Structure 1
Amino acid sequence: MPDPDRLTTGERWAARASDSQFNALAGAIGGFTSGIVTCPLDVIKTKLQAQGGFHAQGTGRRRVYKGLFGTANIIWKEEGLRGMYRGLGPIILGYLPTWAVWFTIYNKSKLFLGQYHENGFVVNLWSSIIAGASSTIATNPIWVIKTRLMSQSGGHDRNGFSLFPKGTNTPTSRPTLHQPWHYRSTLDAARKMYTTEGLLSFYSGLTPALLGLTHVAVQFPAYEFLKVKFTGRAMGAAPVAGQDEKAHWLGILSASIMSKILASSATYPHEVIRTRLQTQRRPIPGQEYMQGLGGATAPGVGNGVSHQPHPGPKYNGIVSTFRTMLREEGWRAFYAGMGTNMMRAVPAATVTMLTYEYVMSHLNHTRATGRHKLEQQLARGELAEP
């Protein structure tokens, strides 16, 4: 029978772990859980956001995705369960470091800024911006790969595209310029992006992603404010003894939902702009020279020579992308997939925060238990004074 006074491995670690380690672990678990739960909705949202850009670029891709259930039905018929979880690898690889970094830096920033400013809302606001910028820069390449994997269609011709198409002279040739891009996996996407577009392709959409810091600047200060109002406890704090636990978790649920709806409604257009920039391929080096020398043929041209210069990138920066979308698609394009996004983002935020709060509560309880046992062992002389 196990000794109740004996320290378990978890209690021993928790008793000595720092708050930063707690926040990193709880954040990573929270993001990982929400990523798995909401991945299908993320795929649907990404396809709805991206298809307007493909249509406007003249790729021949029709507007086939309409609404949440219509898009889900098409994905299920054409790609099955695998299609609904396309991009899950980058999600798992992305959410783990994203939320681990975010919660760690957020709480450290609160402690630091709290020494210089007494207004808690201002401290939370700047802490969320600092944490968001750090996690965004660190993980942007993963999210670019995720967006590309999710936005592509699985109904492709497996023999229709190759990095080394038939007719090329050497295995180092670039893909033909008019071929559609297709990625089979996370590593395959990373390899093809690097070899055909260069290192900068991994930071496509970084500027609008940083603009998206307005999202966390709204969401988390609002969440902290609402959680204190509903539960009387700050973020990451466990319910006090005697407090109604059901009311405590209901307060967390309400704060998560309300803060996410507020932030998503206010900042959604930047997500569409970011998706367009991320899904747009960077020009292949040298293509402007190949176009006049018979080395590449534009789509629909059969004589081996392109009569029109290959256009440059359609979207160049936030302002240019905004103007192009507004001119070609109208203001509704900035809210493409917003309904689906709400149905994805709100559950994702709720699962993330509930999981984070639960893990933090469990870790704090384990820490308290571990330290109590250590004190008892020290009092009995079983441990040397540290």
Structure 2
Amino acid sequence: MAPSISSTKAEDSASTGLASGIIVCPLDVIKTKLQAQGGFSVLADRARMGERVLAYRGFVGTARTIWTEEGVRGMYRGLGPLILGYLPTWTVYFTVYEKSKDVTAHQFGGASWFTHTLSAMVAGTSSTLVTNPIWVIKTRLMSQNAIAANTSSQYSPISNTSSTYVKVPYHYTSTLDAARKMYLHEGIGSFYSGLAPALLGLSHVAVQFPLFEAFKRFFIGSEQQEKGLTGFTHFWGILAASCLSKICASSATYPHEVLRTRLQTQKVTHSDGDTRPRYRGIIHSARTVYREEGWRAFYAGMGTNMLRAVPASAMTLITYESWFSLPAPWPPVCWLTA
């Protein structure tokens, strides 16, 4: 039996996304640490005097700290669930997308901007609901510090000569170890932490792909859109359109990523003491982050995210335009590689 179009697209897109994911994994680790650190306790001499101290500062400083303390392994924390998550994410996405597109096209009279948008949103919601546990584990593995396992306390020194320490509330040795400990100590709900902002992030497609189509028309002209990725001008036009649309969309929707990371990396223990989490929902989390850290915290790690997401998005969109040139208002679902 021949494979379906949706399964073929899923395999091709998963392969492309997986390759780019492995390449940019160190950037993902740096971004995650920058996003998550505000939710962890930091011990430092200056902090005891009432001054807020950041353990990780900027792209270069964070990369240097990770390399010094953990080496190359630290740069690839969370690679296991990252690899594990790509195929089911794309499989669910394209299966639901194709079915949803058929239904909406029948209901609303053929393929249209609305059909593609609604189908993409439904497919994105479905894949997020199914694979969210994998991405929670990935985020926790990336945010933790290896030194905590080798010390008597959970406070991990940022460097051998520094008086700054970050308190990581968990430590996992593998993907399975993380899943087991999360289930035993926090329950099944922990696997769906950060789900609300993750679903909110689906609005990314509503920003990126109208911009992508507009930029594409500007750079290559409407007459060239039906022709495939064959010319030099066409290639660079697609590249410019994908990069610019991704930068605009990421800038507009980035705060939800910080909120998602904070919700995913907080540990709620159901033993002694107050069991109420520090962050509770999107609104409460946003208020807490703003009150404690200011508006800049909503953009922690955004520069690193641009270095990670823009090339990955460009790679996927160029590949999609090359493999699946369609006259549709926009290419479906490539937003998922963001």
TM-score class, shorter: 0.7 to 0.9
- Report the counterpart of residue 283 of structure 1 in structure 2: 269
Aligned to 1:380: none
1:99 matched residue in structure 2: 90
Normalising by structure 1, what TM-score?
0.71
SS at match of 2:254: helix
Partner in structure 2 of residue 330 of structure 1 = 294
Structure 1 position 186, deviation (Å):
0.8
**Superposition map of 1:229-240 within 5 A:** 230=220, 239=228
Aligned to 2:187: 198
Contact 2:6/2:91 (<8 A) preserved: no
Identity of aligned residues (%): 57
Deviation at 1:156, TM superposition (A): 2.1
- By how many angstroms is 1:22 displaced? 2.3
Runs of 5+ unmatched residues, structure 1 = 1-12, 163-177, 289-309, 362-386
- Whether the 8 Å CA contact 2:255–2:299 is kept in 1: the answer is yes
Query: Where does residue 268 of structure 1 map in the other structure?
Result: 254
| Structure 2 residue aligned with 1:247 | 233
Name 1:19's counterpart in structure 2.
5
Residue 314 of structure 1: aligned partner: 278
| DSSP-derived class of the 2:41 partner | helix
- Report the alpha carbon displacement of residue 79 of structure 1 after superposing the two structures with TM: 0.8
Offset of 1:228 from its aligned partner?
6.3
Structure number, greater radius of gyration = 1
Instruction: Give the direction of change, closer, same or farther, for the CA distance of 1:336–1:315 in structure 2 (3 Å limit).
Output: same
CA RMSD of aligned residues (A): 3.1
- Please name the residue that 1:344 is paired with: 308
Q: CA deviation at 1:258?
A: 2.1
AA aligned to 1:152 is Q
- Residue 185 of structure 1 is matched in structure 2 by 174
Q: Which amino acid aligns with 2:171?
A: H
What's the TM-score once normalised by structure 2's chain length?
Answer: 0.80
Q: In 2, distance between residues paired with 1:263 and 1:75?
A: 29
| Distance in 2 separating the partners of 1:324 and 1:145 | 24
1:33-77 Cα offsets, whole Å, 9 max, x none, are 221111111000000000011138999996221111111111111
Which one-letter code corresponds to 1:318 in the other structure?
I
Please say if residues 186 and 267 of structure 2, whose CA atoms lie closer than 8 Å, have aligned partners that are also in contact.
yes
Moved more, 245-254 or 315-324: 245-254
Which residue does the alignment assign to 2:133? 141
- Opposite residue 260 of structure 1, the aligned amino acid is K
The alpha-carbon deviation at position 227 of structure 1 amounts to 4.7
Map Cα deviations across residues 190-234 of structure 1 (whole Å, 9 max, x no partner): 111111111111001111111111112322344355556637699
Aligned to 1:71: 62
* Distance apart, 1:113 and its partner CA: 2.4
Q: Secondary structure at the match of 1:155?
A: helix
The aligned length equals: 306
Q: How far apart, CA to CA, are the structure 2 residues paired with 1:354 and 1:196?
A: 44
**Which stretch of structure 1 is more off in the superposition, 254-263 or 37-46?**
254-263
Gaps of 5+ in 2: 155-166, 326-338
Instruction: Provide the rounded CA distance (Å) in 1 between the counterparts of 2:119 and 2:298.
Output: 28
Q: Distance in 2 between matches of 1:161 and 1:233?
A: 64
What whole-Å deviation, never above 9, does each CA across 1:213-265 have from its counterpart, x for those lacking one? 11123223443555566376999x882xxx73433433332232122112111
Offset at residue 93 of structure 1 (A): 1.1
CA change 1:111–1:214 in 2 (3 A) is: same
